[in-house]
């Protein structure tokens, strides 16, 4: 059987890299371990782009290869030269394995428990029913209501689950429109757009945010509430722009829409427990400075409460998006290898970035991330770029007046979530495209416009917050 290029290229390229002499690389002082990290990085990049295997499987392969090739408990004949200067310092295998249980993973696990409990006890649908009432029957404002609710849910739930739920609510509305009414396109696009943008608002809203937190430590530490301080205003402005753009490009001919969502809040003891835990967890996340717990510690409260009370049982645990957690852990492990072997710093210092304007560097980094995020998983994009960008932000002295490392990380993180120009860009886009109401070129027109505008807006907002002393 003849293997497709998507299988042999990810195998051949890293092997060639491993076989090259150190002198063949354009980096002075490259070590053997750094050469192996380059091979692992290329393997990860090619597998995440070409997807010969599931992207979460790539993450597991990364961790396995790091344990074999880079750790102090790897294959003995691959670390026999460990005392030689050109070899490098072996990584502790504890650190590599710990990526499976990183605080970032625990933060996301807490978010998954909240989202699962909210769906199981219909908190999401009932909140949507209540929150949509004030928006009346004008198509413009009904769409605004749908977008705002989708964005709010996406801050605390999976963007994909939120989109699936909101599109199901939207189904009877689409039947009201005439077959060629442009309003159908606007409504169908409004949900994935709002889900993609809304996830930016909180650290648990989307995996790239969690990956960014891994690098926002020490003096650059950003709490849950501080993230929302700039994330939520960014979401609000982007939502307003998206709403105006959709109404301008695809104005509805239909003048009146009746949106009916049936249901009522459950009044069982377990339902009240879900409501209370949801509210308490969010409040604790927002008020970290008052009680002293960080967001990772708080995230385990709903996990413990819902497990103890049986709200989330062992059958529910099977439905958790474990693939997302594995994908994020693989990215953390890749960043760890780039950092601890010194490869990220070596690459950054080999290129004279300080000779360029910091604005050019920031904009180029954001555009690269935006472009990649349109063609591959947002999480994979963040996994690949974040360690390099963190090292670049820390090393560029000219970036210091603009917020340095924090600015670089945040701008690239926002760009990763704004890649939404194609049906393949994000699961919400794929779900919306599957409805049959949206053409690919219509999605490109809206997604590309919002992506570029969003990158520019992120520069402005991060610069303002840095000037006010809130970040950086």
Assign 50 a pLDDT band (cuts: 50, 70, 90).
confident
Assign 89 a pLDDT band (cuts: 50, 70, 90).
confident
Distance of CA 271 to the CA centre of its chain: 30
Q: Is 91 helix (H, G, I), strand (E, B) or coil?
A: strand
Q: Give the whole-angstrom CA distance, residue 121 versus residue 265.
A: 8
Nearest to 128 by CA among 176, 178, 175, 162: 162
DSSP 71: B
Compute the average pLDDT of residues 144-165. Answer: 87
Assign 471 a pLDDT band (cuts: 50, 70, 90).
low
Predicted confidence at residue 225, as pLDDT, reads 84
Distance of CA 123 to the CA centre of its chain: 24
The answer on pLDDT for 60 being more than 90 is yes
What percentage of the chain has pLDDT greater than the value 70?
A: 96
Compute the average pLDDT of residues 55-74. Answer: 91
Residue keyed to tokens 């648990």: 204
List, in order, residues 6 or more apart from 41 with CB less than 8 Å away.
334, 338, 384
Q: What is the pLDDT of residues 198-233, one digit of tens each?
A: 999 998 888 899 889 888 877 778 888 888 888 999
Residue 360 sits at φ, ψ, to 5 deg, of: -65, -45
If residue 366 lies in a helix (H) or strand (E), which one and from where to where? helix 358-375
Assign 189 a pLDDT band (cuts: 50, 70, 90).
very high
Q: What is the pLDDT of residues 407-430, one digit of tens each?
A: 888 889 999 999 998 887 888 888
The answer on pLDDT for 157 being more than 90 is no
Structure-block tokens of residue 201: 């608002």
In order, the DSSP letters of 193-254 are HHHHHHGGGSTTSSHHHHHHHTT--GGG---HHHHHHHHHHHHHHHHHHHHHHHHHHS--S-
Judge contact between 315 and 124, C-beta under 8 A. no
Buried b (16+ CB within 10 A) or exposed e, 290-327: eeeeebbbbbbbbbebbeeeebbeeebeeebbeebbbb
Structure-block tokens of residue 180: 């060629």
Judge contact between 326 and 56, C-beta under 8 A. yes
Predicted confidence at residue 36, as pLDDT, reads 93
Structure-block tokens of residue 190: 């409004």
Q: What is the pLDDT of residues 260-298, one digit of tens each?
A: 667 788 889 999 999 999 899 988 888 877 888 888 888
């Amino acid at each position: 059987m003849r293997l497709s290029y998507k299988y042999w290229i990810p195998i051949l390229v890293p092997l060639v890299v491993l076989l090259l002499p150190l002198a063949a690389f354009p980096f002075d002082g490259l070590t053997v371990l750094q050469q192996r990290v380059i091979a692992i990085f290329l393997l990860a990049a090619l597998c995440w782009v070409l997807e010969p295997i599931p992207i979460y499987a790539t993450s597991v392969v990364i961790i396995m290869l790091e344990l074999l090739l880079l750790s102090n408990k790897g294959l003995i004949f691959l670390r026999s030269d460990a005392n030689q200067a050109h070899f490098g310092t072996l990584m502790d295998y504890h650190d590599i394995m710990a990526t499976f249980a990183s605080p970032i993973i625990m933060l996301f696990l807490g978010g998954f428990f909240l989202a699962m409990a909210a769906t199981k006890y219909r908190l999401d649908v009932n909140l949507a029913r209540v929150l949509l009432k004030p928006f009346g029957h004008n198509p413009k404002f009904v769409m605004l209501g749908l977008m705002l609710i989708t964005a709010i849910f996406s801050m605390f739930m999976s963007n994909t689950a939120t989109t699936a739920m909101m599109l199901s609510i939207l189904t009877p509305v689409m039947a009201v429109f005439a077959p060629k009414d442009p309003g159908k396109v606007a409504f169908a696009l409004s949900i994935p757009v709002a889900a993609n943008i809304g996830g930016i608002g909180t650290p648990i809203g989307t995996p790239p945010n969690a990956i960014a937190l891994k690098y926002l430590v020490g003096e650059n530490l950003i709490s849950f509430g501080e993230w929302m301080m700039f994330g939520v205003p960014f979401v609000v402005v982007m939502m307003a722009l998206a709403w105006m753009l959709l109404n301008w490009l695809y104005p509805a001919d239909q003048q009146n829409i009746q949106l009916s969502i049936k249901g009522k809040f459950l009044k069982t003891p377990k339902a009240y427990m879900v409501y209370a835990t949801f509210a308490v967890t969010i409040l604790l996340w927002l008020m970290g400075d008052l009680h002293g717990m960080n967001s990772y510690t708080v995230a385990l409260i709903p996990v413990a409460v819902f497990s103890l009370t049986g709200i989330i049982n062992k059958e529910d645990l099977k439905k958790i998006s474990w693939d997302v957690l594995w994908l994020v852990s693989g990215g953390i492990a890749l960043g760890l290898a780039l950092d601890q072997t010194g490869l990220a710093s070596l690459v950054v210092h080999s290129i004279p970035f300080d000779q360029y304007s910091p604005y050019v560097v920031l904009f180029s980094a954001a555009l690269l991330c935006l472009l990649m995020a349109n063609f591959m998983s947002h999480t994979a994009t963040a996994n690949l770029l974040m360690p390099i960008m963190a090292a670049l932000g820390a090393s560029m002295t000219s970036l210091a007046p603009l917020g340095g490392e924090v600015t670089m990380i945040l701008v690239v993180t926002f760009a990763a979530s704004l890649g939404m120009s194609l049906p393949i860009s994000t699961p919400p886009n794929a779900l919306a495209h599957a409805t049959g109401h949206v053409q690919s070129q219509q999605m490109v027109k809206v997604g590309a416009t919002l992506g570029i505008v969003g990158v520019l807006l992120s520069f402005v907002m991060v610069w303002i917050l840095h000037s006010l002393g809130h970040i950086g």
